[in-house]
Amino acid sequence: MNSTNKFYKTFGPIELQLEGGQLLKDTSIAYNTWGKLNAKKSNAILVCHALTGDQFVTGKNPITNRKGWWENIVGPNKILDTNKYFIICTNVLGGCMGTTGPSSVNLDTSNPYGMEFPIFTIKDMVNLQLKLIESLNIDKLFSIIGGSMGGMQVLEWAASYPDRLYSAIPIATSYRHSAQNIAFHEVGRQAIMNDPNWHNGNYYNNKNKPRHGLSVARMIAHITYLSEGAFQKKFGRDMQSKVLSWGFDADFQVESYLRYQGTSFVDRFDANSYLYITRAMDYFDLTNSYKGNLSQAFKKTKCKFLIISFTSDWLFPSSESQYIVKALNQTAADVSYIEIESDKGHDSFLLEVNDFYDILKGFISGAAKKLNI
Partner 1 sequence: MTNLINQNLISSLINDHDKVLDIGCGSGELLYFLEKTKNIQGQGIEISHLGVKESVSKGLSVIQGDADEDLINFPDHTFDIVILSDTLQATHKPKEVLEQMLRISKKCIICIPNFGYWKYRLQILFNGVMPVAKTLSEPWYSTPNIHLCTIKDFINLCKSMNISITEAYRNTKDNIKVIKNPNSYLNNLLSTEGIFILTKD
Query: Rounded CA gap, 104 and 100, in Å?
Result: 6
Contact 92, 100 (CB under 8 A): no
Smallest gap from residue 151 Cβ to partner 1 (A) = 17
Is-catalytic flag, 148? yes
Which one of 42, 103, 143, 148 is the catalytic residue? 148
Smallest gap from residue 259 Cβ to partner 1 (A) = 37
Nearer to partner 1, 28 or 174 (CB): 174
Contact 342, 312 (CB under 8 A): yes
Is-catalytic flag, 212? no
> Binding residues for partner 1, per CB under 8 A?
304, 306, 325-326, 329-332, 334-339, 341, 355, 358-359, 361-363, 365-367, 369-370
Query: Any idea what the Cα angle at residue 21 is, between residues 19 and 22, rounded to 5°?
Result: 110
Nearer to partner 1, 89 or 333 (CB): 333
Q: Is 287 exposed, middle or buried (0-12, 13-18, 19+ CB in 10 A)?
A: middle
- CA-nearest of 343, 336, 299, 331 to 321 is 336
Nearer to partner 1, 196 or 292 (CB): 292
Nearer to partner 1, 179 or 332 (CB): 332
Nearer to partner 1, 203 or 298 (CB): 298
Could you give the C-alpha distances from 75 to 58, 208, 293, 324, 331, in angstroms and in order?
7, 38, 38, 30, 35
Which one of 227, 321, 346, 348 is the catalytic residue? 346
Smallest gap from residue 86 Cβ to partner 1 (A) = 21
Smallest gap from residue 161 Cβ to partner 1 (A) = 21
Query: Rounded CA gap, 215 and 272, in Å?
Result: 13
Could you give the C-alpha distances from 206 to 14, 40, 291, in angstroms and in order?
30, 50, 46
DSSP string, 232-275: HHHTTT-BSSSS--SSSS--BHHHHHHHHHHHHHHTT--HHHHH
Which one of 124, 195, 313, 347 is the catalytic residue? 313
Could you give the C-alpha distances from 135 to 1, 2, 7, 26, 209, in angstroms and in order?
8, 8, 20, 16, 36
Nearer to partner 1, 20 or 366 (CB): 366
3-class SS at 366? helix
DSSP string, 211-243: HHHHHHHHHHHHHHHS-HHHHHHHTTT-BSSSS
Nearer to partner 1, 125 or 308 (CB): 308
Smallest gap from residue 359 Cβ to partner 1 (A) = 5
Query: Rounded CA gap, 145 and 152, in Å?
Result: 10
Residues with a known catalytic role: 148, 313, 346
